Structure formats: structure tokens, C-alpha cells
């Protein structure tokens, strides 16, 4: 059994992928070829953002966003401690200061009250609250209603890290339009992934879009050997764009199938264990289906029984950012990051993708409920 079944997806569109890749080899425009523009346009249309600028990966997308906002030394950037390292890593890379914020135990996303306390820490330390990076963790959009308001009150930019959440919605609106800039990743295991590295940024702001387009190609001006600002080399390969075009065509259907799989898990497991919470008006793209066990010991037991039954499970993330060697001295919410710590000790993720058939899911659910009743 696969944790994420990329083979089933490939089998579904193999002929189309082959034709797309052949077409790129035939025209030979390996960098910034026509597929890149076509993909950006289709992606922008799908999510309703005015502009989509593709780039080399989701980490670069975050860094490009910080560069476009002129983030530098003396600026405070607020990030959740329960996330993948990229969200935080880009901040010191720009010479700015990351301030770690706690999460909500039910959604695993940034806690707006903790954000407010963290802003207080920045002001006390003489730093300028410049931007907040909420993460759409495990596919669920962050609490943008609350966070965007706090950002506006404090004159901060919002960079939505939707590496895991592209396609999620709030009140019918899709990720890509919630932050001043939204970023995503096409790493193979993400809900919309390519066959290598890839990323993109979204914005409704014309000037920002132009700036990002320049910055991803060495700060180009009217042409590429005219360098008007400091930029970087961060382009999406044409072959990856070609692959993504075919994957994008089936993405809405895959999102539906992920939702159906999540519904089965939630219906069958809800009485036995804490299932992921999706607030009213929100939809998740289920980058992960994440359970909260009662204790680390219970997690170890349940994962071992699943493994014995041939069911893969994973822990995302076993250590919050503030407990990582590289980030242990980061500034943080003065009340601590206790929820991030507790969640890191108890969560576990089940197989999730758009190709889980009913029998496989029943096998997973059966193994899980048996292991829970054995241990209780
Ligand atoms: C995967 C991921 C990234 C980085 O994406 P890459 O394409 O691997 O650089 C950033 N933030 C989050 C939350 C992620 O899950």
C-alpha cells in the first residue's frame, strides 16, 4: 500500500504526460517555454488570482515574496512553529527576524491570539512587525479572517504559505487570493505536484506581479541582460510545467476524491479518535489526513499495529521549529508554544490521495479501530 499513490495517478494520464514531454523536447524551449505561461494562466484562472508567477520551488516562492516586500534587517516576520522548515528558513536568509507563533490544537493552523502576543514581543525588541506567514497546514486554509485583520491593524503584509493547501477554500473562495501574496509548491508529494521541484506565487497586485517576474530572473528589466535590481535564478522548468498542465486538468476531480476519502475516514473513525477539524465554511485539499492520538505511547502503538497490517502512516511533524537546533533561540510567543509541542507529540497521518479505493480504506479503518480497542 502506498502512503501517496503517485503511480495510480501516472497510469491515469500516462499517454498525455508522454505527449506533453515529447512536445517540449520537440520545440526545445526548456526554459520559460510556452507551457510555463499556459500553466500560469490556467492556475490563475482556477484560483481566481489576477497573476500567477511560477518559480523553482515553494521555498524560493516564500523568499521571493519577502524580497518583493523589501524585507530586511530590523523586520519581524511571524511564522507558526508547527510547520515545515521552509516557512521559517527564508526569514533569516533575508536578514530579518522570525518570531514563532503557536497553533490552534484543532486546525493545526496559526492561533491569532498567539500572533497578537508575538507582535508585542517584536515591538518590545525594537523590531518592525513587517509580515505574517500563515500556513495552510495539511491542506486546510489558515484563519485568514482573523489574521488579515490583525495584519491590517499592524501595517503588516500577509504571505499565505499554501504549499500544502492550494485548492482549499473559505466561503467558496480559493487559496491564492487570501494573502497579499500566496505561495505554493509543486514538490511531488504535495496535492498538486510535478516530477521534480516547482513553485508559484499569486497576487492581485499588478506592480507586485511585475516585480516578482523580474526578481525570479536575476532582477531583469526590459530584457534579461538588463539588470535593474537584485534578483535570483528561480524559474519553473518547461518540462515541469508541461507535466503540471496534465496534472492540473485532473486536479479538481482529485480534490473531490480526496474529500470523499476524508469523509470515509471521518465517518468511520470519529467515534474512536480525534479526527481533523474543518471549520464551517472551509474546505481542505487534504494534503494530509491527520489524527490526534491520546499520547505519544498510543501513537507508537497505533502506528506499529498499522505497520503490521501493511498500512503506512507518517508523523508530520514530530518536532516543532523551536525545538530544532537551527531555530532554538528564535523569539516567540511569551506564553510559549505549548500547543505546537503537544501536537507534535501526538499527531499521525494516514494514507491520503485521490486513488484510495473502498476496500483499501476499509482495511485501514479496520486495522486502526482494532488497534484502538486493543489498547483501551
Ligand atoms: C513543502 C513546503 C514548503 C516548501 O516547498 P518546496 O517546494 O519543497 O521548497 C514550504 N512550506 C510548506 C508548509 C511546505 O509544506
pLDDT tens for 7-41 read: 999 999 999 999 999 999 999 999 999 999 999 99
pLDDT at 375 over 70: no
pLDDT digits (tens, 9 = 90+) for 299-346: 999 999 999 999 999 999 999 999 999 999 999 999 999 999 999 999
C-alpha 291/C-alpha 300 separation (Å) is 13
Quick one: which H or E segment has residue 29?
Answer: none
| Cell numbers given for 64 | 521571493
pLDDT of 223 reads 84
How much of the chain, in percent, has pLDDT values that exceed 90?
98
Residues with CB under 6 A from ligand 1: 57-59, 83-84, 86-87, 135, 161, 163-164, 185, 187, 197, 199
Q: Are 205 and 180 in contact (CB under 8 A)?
A: yes
C-alpha 80/C-alpha 109 separation (Å) is 8
C-alpha 31/C-alpha 8 separation (Å) is 29
**Closest ligand 1 atom, residue 137 Cα:** 13
| Cell numbers given for 61 | 516562492
CA-nearest residue for atom 6, ligand 1, is 58
Cis previous bond, 206, omega within 30: no
Task: Report CA(195)–ligand 1 centroid distance (Å).
Answer: 15
The label of the residue with cell 511560477 reads 54
**Closest ligand 1 atom, residue 62 Cα:** 10
Amino acid at each position: 500500500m502506498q502512503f501517496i499513490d503517485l503511480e495510480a495517478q501516472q497510469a491515469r494520464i500516462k499517454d498525455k504526460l508522454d505527449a506533453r514531454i515529447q512536445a517540449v523536447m520537440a520545440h526545445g524551449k526548456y526554459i520559460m517555454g510556452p507551457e510555463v505561461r499556459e500553466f500560469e494562466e490556467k492556475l490563475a484562472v482556477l484560483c481566481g488570482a489576477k497573476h500567477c508567477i511560477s518559480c523553482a520551488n515553494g521555498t524560493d516562492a516564500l523568499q521571493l515574496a519577502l524580497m518583493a516586500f523589501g524585507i530586511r534587517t530590523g523586520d519581524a516576520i511571524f511564522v507558526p512553529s508547527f510547520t515545515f522548515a521552509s516557512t521559517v528558513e527564508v526569514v533569516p536568509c533575508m536578514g530579518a527576524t522570525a518570531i514563532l507563533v503557536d497553533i490552534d490544537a484543532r486546525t493545526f493552523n496559526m492561533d491569532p491570539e498567539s500572533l497578537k502576543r508575538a507582535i508585542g514581543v517584536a515591538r518590545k525588541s525594537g523590531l518592525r512587525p513587517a509580515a505574517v506567514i500563515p500556513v495552510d497546514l495539511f491542506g486546510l486554509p489558515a484563519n485568514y479572517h482573523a489574521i488579515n485583520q490583525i495584519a491590517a491593524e499592524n501595517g503588516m503584509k500577509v504571505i499565505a504559505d499554501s504549499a500544502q493547501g492550494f485548492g482549499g477554500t473559505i466561503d467558496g473562495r480559493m487559496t491564492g487570493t487570501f494573502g497579499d501574496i500566496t505561495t505554493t509548491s509543486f514538490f511531488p508529494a504535495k496535492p498538486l505536484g510535478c516530477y521534480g521541484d516547482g513553485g508559484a506565487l499569486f497576487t492581485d497586485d499588478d506592480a507586485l506581479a511585475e516585480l516578482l517576474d523580474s526578481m525570479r530572473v536575476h532582477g531583469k528589466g526590459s530584457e534579461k541582460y538588463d539588470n535593474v535590481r537584485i534578483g535570483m535564478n528561480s524559474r519553473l522548468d518547461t518540462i515541469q510545467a508541461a507535466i503540471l498542465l496534465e496534472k492540473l486538468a485532473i486536479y479538481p476531480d482529485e480534490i473531490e476524491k480526496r474529500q470523499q476519502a476524508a469523509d470515509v475516514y471521518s465517518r468511520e473513525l470519529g467515534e474512536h479518535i480525534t479526527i481533523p477539524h474543518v471549520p464551517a465554511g472551509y474546505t481542505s485539499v487534504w494534503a494530509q489526513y491527520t489524527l490526534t492520538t491520546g499520547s505519544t505511547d498510543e501513537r507508537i502503538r497505533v502506528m506499529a499495529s498499522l505497520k503490521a497490517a501493511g498500512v503506512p502512516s507518517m508523523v508530520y511533524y514530530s518536532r516543532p521549529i523551536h525545538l530544532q537546533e537551527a531555530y532554538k533561540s528564535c523569539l516567540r510567543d511569551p506564553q510559549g508554544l505549548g500547543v505546537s509541542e503537544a501536537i507534535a507529540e501526538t499527531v499521525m497521518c494516514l494514507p491520503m490521495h485521490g486513488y484510495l479505493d473502498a476496500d483499501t480504506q476499509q482495511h485501514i479503518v479496520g486495522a486502526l479501530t482494532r488497534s484502538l480497542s486493543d489498547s483501551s
